[in-house]
């Protein structure tokens, strides 16, 4: 069973921000993903969403995916292996 923790927020904070607890989890997950503190999968898990739904939320906020030069090189090698097969 996965461990969990509770985050306590000052009374009225969510009301002042006009968001729900689920919205707050999504915003935290998006912020941590944007700062490369969480992977896509872990951020989606924190938000309580599937990876596809989390990616949709990223797109709505124009948050780019993490795709580095090494990732592009890996993808190029995979594509090249298909051409030679």
User: Which residue has 């948050």 as its token pair?
Assistant: 63
Question: pLDDT by residue (tens digit) across 24-57?
Answer: 999 999 999 999 999 999 999 999 999 999 999 9
Residue 17's region, left for phi above 0, alpha for psi from -120 to 50, else beta, is alpha
What are the sequence ranges of the domains in the chain? 13-84
The mean per-residue pLDDT over the stretch 66-83 comes to 79
Average pLDDT, the chain: 89
Rounded alpha-carbon distances, angstroms, from residue 84 to 19, 35, 73, 75? 52, 38, 17, 15
User: Greatest CA span in the chain, whole angstroms?
Assistant: 62
Over residues 71-83, the mean pLDDT reads 81
pTM of the model: 0.75
51 sits in which H/E element = helix 51-60
Confidence band, pLDDT 50/70/90 cuts, at residue 1: low
């Amino acid at each position: 069973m996965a461990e969990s923790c509770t985050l306590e927020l000052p009374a009225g904070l969510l009301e002042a921000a006009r968001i729900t607890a689920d919205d707050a989890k999504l915003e935290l997950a998006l912020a941590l993903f944007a700062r490369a503190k969480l992977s896509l999968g872990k951020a989606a898990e924190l938000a309580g969403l599937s990876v596809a739904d989390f990616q949709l939320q990223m797109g709505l906020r124009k948050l780019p995916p993490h795709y580095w030069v090494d990732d592009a090189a890996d993808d190029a090698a995979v594509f090249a292996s298909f051409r030679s097969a």
